[in-house]
Amino acid sequence: MNFSIAEENYIKAIWRLQQSDSNVTTNELSAELQTKPASVTDMLKRLKEKKILNYEPYYGVKLNTDGKKIALGIIRRHRLWEYFLVEKLKFEWDAVHVIAEELEHVSSPELIERLDHFLGFPKADPHGDPIPDSSGRMETTRHISLHQLKEQQPAVVSGVNDQSSGLPEILRQKKISIGTKVEIKQRFLFDGSLEIKIRNQPLITLSEQLAKNIFVTPL
């Protein structure tokens, strides 16, 4: 089956929301996609027709097996393009999400397989998010935000928020990137800021805002 750009954006949004909350509501989707709830209802009815999700009026929606596979195909395209934009075209990684939102809808399977090969079959995109393989399999990363990390618990930076602009600049200055080993030494309740220890570096301070945009995997 073939999906329009609008349909693909809905499918991807449902998939994303479904990760944290298995049942996705109309209002959640409307917020995620910047549309009105009435438009969401219309689209859900159309996608139900196409048999890729279970939609129960008033009770929310959930992608079925086919729907999930389609979503992972779109996510694969999105993340491969993001990797291309950063690794080959030398974009900063806070600029690529918007462009990949468009590129992900180019629908040639052969294009994506060749792109994957050209890029050397990357496992993760520039934000640390795993790239599904051509059959839709993807490693489930179990990472939490640095803000949620316990004190004195060593962890490695495994991801960053893909939407926030200006993040690369501040992380470069703080000498933090994906793969950096970190540990929270002190947390201030006053403003949520953190004192962080990085190997061979003096203690550095991170704001709550910043810590919420960095994701880590505890060791």
- Residues at the site binding DNA, with contacts judged by CB under 7 A: 4-7, 10, 25-28, 34-46, 55, 57-60
**Residue 154 or residue 166: which is nearer to a copy of itself going by CB?**
166
Shortest approach of DNA to residue 58 CB, angstroms?
4
**Residue 68 or residue 79: which is nearer to a copy of itself going by CB?**
79
Strands (E) in the chain, as ranges, are 53-55, 61-63, 144-145, 155-160, 181-187, 194-198, 204-206, 214-218
Distance CA 33, CA 14 (A): 10
Binds Mn ion by CB under 5 A, chosen from 125, 155, 158, 184: 125
Per partner kind, with CB cut-offs from 5 to 8 A, the member of a copy of itself, Mn ion, DNA, none near residue 40 is DNA
**Residue 71 or residue 85: which is nearer to a copy of itself going by CB?**
85
Please, is 163 exposed, middle or buried when counting C-beta atoms within 10 Å of its C-beta (0-12, 13-18, 19+)?
Answer: exposed
Tell me the C-alpha to C-alpha distance, in Å, between residue 12 and each of 5, 40, 172, 200. Answer: 11, 13, 30, 41
Long-range pairs for 208-211: beta carbons < 8 A, 24 or more residues apart: 208/147, 210/170, 211/145, 211/146, 211/147
Distance CA 119, CA 200 (A): 33
Kindly list the residues in this chain that would bind a copy of itself in the complex (CB under 8 A): 85, 88-91, 95, 98-99, 102-103, 106-108, 110-111, 114-115, 117-118
**Residue 27 or residue 108: which is nearer to DNA going by CB?**
27
127 binds Mn ion (CB under 5 A): yes
Q: Please spell the DSSP secondary structure of 115-130, one letter per residue.
A: HHHHTT--SB-TTSPB
Per partner kind, with CB cut-offs from 5 to 8 A, the member of a copy of itself, Mn ion, DNA, none near residue 54 is none
Shortest approach of a copy of itself to residue 102 CB, angstroms?
5
Q: Which residues pair with 183 in a beta bridge?
A: 197
Shortest approach of a copy of itself to residue 73 CB, angstroms?
16
Binds Mn ion by CB under 5 A, chosen from 33, 50, 99, 101: 101
Binding site for Mn ion (CB under 5 A): 9, 82, 101, 125, 127, 129, 162
